[in-house]
Structure 1
């Protein structure tokens, strides 16, 4: 350790435990029990070979010693003998506080023994315990006394032994030793079975934090993920890790199968008997009286959870139930307070797991590195797949055999993986199965909305079914597109393939072009086929038979699409007369349909979507006219969308009044279209859409229904009637011709304006909108979207706009001369969004409160805005407010905190000097950004932001202090005070922050950090870079895993007490750091690097020589390990290397002290070849970080780890002739020569030790 404070620091629950050296730690008052009870108990523990720590060899002092703290941390079970005079010893009380800290931090067991005292006297500090505290009051402060009392109260509430109940004493000792042995067996079982299991620690830490073991409430936690992802393994590991924290425990595996096999009551009785014991009935015990841990694994239906556990009132305080399931809905119905999603393994962990199964080591053998990556790409982080495939390939010892097996996997999935994944599919109902198979075969990667509409057109309840698939982990949605794991998609493909392995024509879905080609060419279609999905560009030309579709009676979807060139003839060639299409057809897309009409006997009564772009149709059904006008589509009463784009001879459209379900009519590219009439009973929905892009000769357009959208890019309008549902008015700007504006009428790019041209030109330029408003706005009474963005001549708005009862969105972005918003004279309920970005307004009207329906208000970069009215606090629905870049804003009203905002962003409000008082608790605010404001101080009422999580004060150069009350923000996890040049101190009580994870004081004027910083129990990252005045650093919290200290020139002393395995330590250009501090850092680096070679660590600190514990060092040139070296790797216990370099300046006057980028290489010779592993990032661009390029003013030592499980070196290293570690430099400034060089190299091999005497694994160098 760099330094160890005498205070007991509270660390977070996820801190990894220190190495175990003792089974049991005894805490006792010597004068009461040392020569009788303790001596007998110690002897019995010794006879049972239980390693026990007793402090009889340690000298007593006024304060508990670091050695005793270390012994407590390194013990598994604590036995606290609470005797008459226990509380009279402050040593005992300090011991107890430390013991309970380790219990909470590491999940350790504490066994209290009430030796000749009543537990209630201990709990309430009565009798001798009260007398002891009367004496302590004379010497110690109240906070210390309160801490000791709290510890006694806590330990007295734990399950333990009473010497007055269990008698005689020898029987009491016998029972205690039995209890300890049982707990140790459980702990050893966990250590042996799970410790070292790849990636398991991360899952355990995160789930343990969700369980909130410190709370006495009842809690259910769910574990969710796809099949084979590791839910059962994780649940078992957490069960064995935490079992000893509960008075009773039970784990039931495969609950779904067990309930199906033996019934719910059998399973329920099983766990009850395990929780309460075989004699539970006779003893009258109940679940309500026990603190239990229950794990229900692989629950398949919601009713199983309800039947098995009922309600929380059935269980005792502190009970935890863990439920695993593939179905999210099961966990939601179980009322899980938290649900942990098990995600795919990282590449690093995947490679290690696969290698352990395929090569029986942590890394792949070199010839198989690329092949291993192919397997990893196939498995995509699923542990089951990695284990199965690794074991499968283990026996295949040639590269050719691997290649062959991988090719086989591309065609057929592994049976074990398939069976596991198929369980999720089998739990679906028939419609859900159809939806799943359609997505797996056709729609992976497609837009979720498009897929939903397509599936709906096939008669499915798509949204409901897709939600079920999400809950089962079979699909997810990322950025609006459907995501499906490779293995799950392959499982879907295999289900379809197994419908008829030999004959694709007898399967329900066809999507492989070669299979569709054979079915069409040989006329092998059957009534089994439901869907056919073909990219026609991928097949050769195929001549269809006249009766190709005759046998496909159940075909509901045909998609023959061409994603590239619509102008070429289709590769699907039809006979002169195609006799039929299936009457059940619901979805028909056929790009470039090669014939002039559909079959005469095709009855499209079930057709929902007709999509025939770029086809050769001149008529739809035989007998109609050529497509100079669209025929009556009365035969299609269910049709919802018709796409007949680019019918160049189409002159006019008469739409049937029977098409009451029609939502969309696409006629874009119909360059001859002159008139269009839409009956009033169709396109009734507000999302109804007619697309007329490129209809350049359109002269007459009439519609009986105003509730629809129209797109008319590039048309002529001479007469119109009732078409304004939404109006989008912009200056002319290029826009994709296929951009879709639902609910919009777009007047862009009007080529000819035959009627009232002046009127329309004024609308576009908006020079005199107010003069036109009396005649304009009454005709827009159903307008719902008005976009006036970038209308540079607009100065103000007519008040009539706010009389539009359906107006929901109003855009004025970029109206640079718009400065008068005007008063709002009456209540406006419809307006939900108001965008005033980049306008010239100076203030908003006080009548703003009339916009009662407003949900979003954007004032971004309103550089002249000076004032926001207090009436804004009356906007009860306002949830988004954007004030970024309002450079003239000096303050804002406190009424803003009455709003339901989650984020308040005042970034670049350069004149903002005051932050208003907050008058009452504001529970919705989560993020506040005050970057680059002129704020000088924050009010003490900041504590009213009770849910605040992040507070950004970056570059608040005038900020001089933070209020002490800020520590009362119990949810604050990130505090950024970087660039606060005037900030010289932070609150002394900063250690009271319970949730703070990231603290940045970079480039502030901090001189000293308060001692209480050591108590920030959740702090992960601390940035002190560029703190030019920082002189010393107190002990830091144990939870810290990242410490930045670039360019702290005055820092002389520092201490850290971090116990995190993953640790990055950056102290660069700290010229005044004293020799003791540097020596301690070197010792700390040695301890961390040699304890565990798998955890990523990085150290940078001032120094001129590679530490002496590196066995291989070389000055001025790369270091080499020779083959004849005594420490040459000779067995498979090598796990990695510690690497070190010393970087410093050359004493040359004509160079500059700016460092280049460095990369390092590892070179070894084997099989007559030189192998190079290079381009790692540990020191690449290290000196160009934290927003600047950094000069090097002194020598620095860099140390980090290189893990063999990340490399391709493998067994070849064992045959290598030598091994060299070196660095190469990339000049950062091409015109200048860097003065920084590598002065010394060091390398130290790290080995895994054999099992030590305690059964654990450790490392040596």
Structure 2
């Protein structure tokens, strides 16, 4: 069965739904068989049900039952041969249709051991219709027209005909799967100000919608702080209602940094299986978890998001092979390191785009001023901060929030400081990629590029660094895969300004007060200071520590020439 999408939207907020599903049925026909199994399966799947069993609710007031119907997001109506014999069922059905028309409540009919046409036409040749004829002749005749209308409307909804399934178990499984796709789950929290997010998300969703029925792997790739996780959450929120089996696993890199024997690895497998299967799963080892994922999810149509992947084993532990999953499955991976995907067949790679100048200014101002445009006195300062951020979403959010409510002189002081010492919160996020480099040569290459080779020809830089024994012909591609450097026009090396500042800060931090002890120098002031100190030390070493006028004049002459050269 394909569930039809309702044309009406919910006017009732999610917080006001008391139950996920209200089950309306005739107890004598299905109480101990089909409905019992259905209710149990829904409950195991985490669906909160209200089971209308009239024998259990005889003490319940009618208005309480009506309130339960109003508070249910979905109503499952189980039509059976003696359904119309219960005025209780008919009154509830009337309320269900009213709620559908008022609140957009979903109505899902099940035709159990009765042909759908019998319900639609209510022919008196069948008991289903004969009972209505009897009703017409008793005290309920005033409500007959409304009940007949409710029966007619309910039978028009897309539902399930039990005769089309091999057994009740198969029917129950299908109902649970379809119900899960219709329940309005709470969405994942994303950014407060989603500037530019929609256009980026739509590029990925557009690819998904144009895919065939086969499973596909999508990668969202970009440097730290570029908004990969935010984009993945927005995509998940947009499409998760189309999947009965889904899971969003966040901060995978963080869990795996605790070591290969960490229980966190197994916990992620448990989370994935529990989410997708809608039941609590316990795993005792990584190997057991991988086998369970392959076997238990085999053939199921799933939506799985794996956030912040940085090692191939993480993918092997959590999704192994795309062929494990059913047709139409979507696996979304966010990563800083495209290299971890080399062993996987990836269908689409979306590289996170830097925010353009207008988007950057709007996002920054929303955080700094609470409105999309800068205040008049802060216009130039705001644009200077935006230029410093270079379109990096994290930097715009962090600095905008930090500067909110501060005076102009404080803004000026912050800008001046940023030119020398970067914001710690931003740098901490960016440094994760650098610290993740396991080869010291790759770290050296990155630091050399930071200091000396931005906008230099890739082949030229490779030749120089190879001459230093750094194997740059291998190292540079690794840095590109890890979003630490990029290739600009004409094969020139490029790097985000904040990454460059981060690299230089790593060097500066190794010896803050004594530049001469740093591994690299790029500021001419530092170079001159080191040369001067070295020159003075050399004079003292060669001529002794006696400082007569000749030595002093020689030192002063060196200082004078150094200042002129600036």
TM-score normalised by the chain length of structure 1: 0.31
- Asked if the contact 1:26–1:52 (Cα under 8 Å) also holds between the matched residues in 2, the reply is no
Equivalent residues in 2 for 1:209-224 (5 A)?
Answer: 209-212=206-209, 215-224=212-221
Using the TM superposition, give the Cα deviation of residue 203 of structure 1 relative to its aligned residue in structure 2, in angstroms.
Answer: 2.2
1:407 maps to: 416
SS at match of 1:184: coil
- The separation in 2 between residues aligned to 1:327 and 1:415, in whole angstroms, is 23
- The separation in 1 between residues aligned to 2:91 and 2:184, in whole angstroms, is 21
Equivalent residues in 2 for 1:205-244 (5 A)?
Answer: 205-212=202-209, 215-244=212-241
- The separation in 2 between residues aligned to 1:203 and 1:503, in whole angstroms, is 46
1:118 maps to: 164
- The separation in 1 between residues aligned to 2:257 and 2:94, in whole angstroms, is 51
Structure 1 residues 176 and 298: alpha-carbon distance in aligned structure 2, compared to 1, 3 A threshold: closer
2:529 aligned with 1:518: yes
1:351 maps to: 361
Unaligned runs of 5+ in 2: 1-5, 13-72, 122-156, 284-291, 542-559
1:778-830: CA deviations, max 9, x gaps? xxxxxxxxxxxxxxxxxxxxxxxxxxxxxxxxxxxxxxxxxxxxxxxxxxxxx
Structure 1 residues 183 and 547: alpha-carbon distance in aligned structure 2, compared to 1, 3 A threshold: farther
**Count of matched residue pairs:** 421
Equivalent residues in 2 for 1:947-986 (5 A)?
Answer: none
- The separation in 1 between residues aligned to 2:282 and 2:215, in whole angstroms, is 23
Which of the residues 379, 387, 398 maps onto 2:397? Answer: 387
Which of the residues 328, 337, 342 maps onto 1:318? Answer: 328
Structure 1 residues 214 and 454: alpha-carbon distance in aligned structure 2, compared to 1, 3 A threshold: closer
SS at match of 2:419: helix
- Asked if the contact 2:300–2:326 (Cα under 8 Å) also holds between the matched residues in 1, the reply is yes
- Asked if the contact 2:232–2:334 (Cα under 8 Å) also holds between the matched residues in 1, the reply is yes
SS at match of 2:342: helix
- The separation in 2 between residues aligned to 1:176 and 1:543, in whole angstroms, is 80
SS at match of 1:436: helix
SS at match of 2:510: coil
SS at match of 1:298: strand
1:555 maps to: none
Equivalent residues in 2 for 1:633-712 (5 A)?
Answer: none
Structure 1 residues 247 and 281: alpha-carbon distance in aligned structure 2, compared to 1, 3 A threshold: farther
Structure 1 residues 427 and 178: alpha-carbon distance in aligned structure 2, compared to 1, 3 A threshold: same
Using the TM superposition, give the Cα deviation of residue 326 of structure 1 relative to its aligned residue in structure 2, in angstroms.
Answer: 0.3
2:429 aligned with 1:420: yes
2:276 aligned with 1:265: no
- The separation in 2 between residues aligned to 1:547 and 1:462, in whole angstroms, is 41
- The separation in 2 between residues aligned to 1:22 and 1:38, in whole angstroms, is 25
Structure 1 residues 311 and 164: alpha-carbon distance in aligned structure 2, compared to 1, 3 A threshold: closer
Which of the residues 434, 439, 443 maps onto 2:449? Answer: 439
1:493-549: CA deviations, max 9, x gaps? 1100110111111110011100010110011xxxxxxxxxxxxxxxxxx8994799x
- The separation in 1 between residues aligned to 2:539 and 2:216, in whole angstroms, is 66
Equivalent residues in 2 for 1:784-1183 (5 A)?
Answer: none
Structure 1 residues 442 and 22: alpha-carbon distance in aligned structure 2, compared to 1, 3 A threshold: same
Using the TM superposition, give the Cα deviation of residue 212 of structure 1 relative to its aligned residue in structure 2, in angstroms.
Answer: 4.1
- The separation in 1 between residues aligned to 2:177 and 2:332, in whole angstroms, is 29
- The separation in 2 between residues aligned to 1:47 and 1:21, in whole angstroms, is 11
- The separation in 1 between residues aligned to 2:442 and 2:463, in whole angstroms, is 15
Q: Which one has more relative contact order, counting CA pairs under 8 Å at least 6 apart?
A: 2
- The separation in 1 between residues aligned to 2:107 and 2:348, in whole angstroms, is 31
1:51 maps to: 103
Structure 1 residues 46 and 421: alpha-carbon distance in aligned structure 2, compared to 1, 3 A threshold: farther
1:375-419: CA deviations, max 9, x gaps? 1101111110001000110031x2111111110111100000000
- The separation in 2 between residues aligned to 1:78 and 1:228, in whole angstroms, is 44
Equivalent residues in 2 for 1:143-542 (5 A)?
Answer: 179=180, 183-186=183-186, 189=187, 193=190, 197-212=194-209, 215-261=212-258, 262=262, 264-278=265-279, 286-396=296-406, 398-428=407-437, 429-478=439-488, 479-523=490-534
Using the TM superposition, give the Cα deviation of residue 22 of structure 1 relative to its aligned residue in structure 2, in angstroms.
Answer: 5.8
- The separation in 2 between residues aligned to 1:431 and 1:38, in whole angstroms, is 77
- The separation in 1 between residues aligned to 2:397 and 2:529, in whole angstroms, is 37
Using the TM superposition, give the Cα deviation of residue 26 of structure 1 relative to its aligned residue in structure 2, in angstroms.
Answer: 10
- The separation in 2 between residues aligned to 1:318 and 1:356, in whole angstroms, is 39
1:251-281: CA deviations, max 9, x gaps? 1111112123235333223312222233568
Bigger mean CA offset, 281-290 vs 454-463: 281-290
- The separation in 2 between residues aligned to 1:48 and 1:27, in whole angstroms, is 12
SS at match of 1:297: strand
Structure 1 residues 518 and 214: alpha-carbon distance in aligned structure 2, compared to 1, 3 A threshold: closer
- The separation in 1 between residues aligned to 2:540 and 2:213, in whole angstroms, is 73
Using the TM superposition, give the Cα deviation of residue 312 of structure 1 relative to its aligned residue in structure 2, in angstroms.
Answer: 2.4
Q: Pick the structure with more helix per residue.
A: 2
Structure 1 residues 472 and 518: alpha-carbon distance in aligned structure 2, compared to 1, 3 A threshold: same
Q: Pick the structure with more strand per residue.
A: 1
Structure 1 residues 264 and 300: alpha-carbon distance in aligned structure 2, compared to 1, 3 A threshold: same
2:148 maps to: none
- Asked if the contact 2:369–2:405 (Cα under 8 Å) also holds between the matched residues in 1, the reply is no
- Asked if the contact 1:520–1:544 (Cα under 8 Å) also holds between the matched residues in 2, the reply is no
- The separation in 2 between residues aligned to 1:177 and 1:254, in whole angstroms, is 30
SS at match of 2:318: helix
Aligned-residue CA RMSD in angstroms? 4.3
Using the TM superposition, give the Cα deviation of residue 47 of structure 1 relative to its aligned residue in structure 2, in angstroms.
Answer: 6.6
Equivalent residues in 2 for 1:1176-1195 (5 A)?
Answer: none
Using the TM superposition, give the Cα deviation of residue 315 of structure 1 relative to its aligned residue in structure 2, in angstroms.
Answer: 2.2
Using the TM superposition, give the Cα deviation of residue 52 of structure 1 relative to its aligned residue in structure 2, in angstroms.
Answer: 1.5
Structure 1 residues 332 and 444: alpha-carbon distance in aligned structure 2, compared to 1, 3 A threshold: same
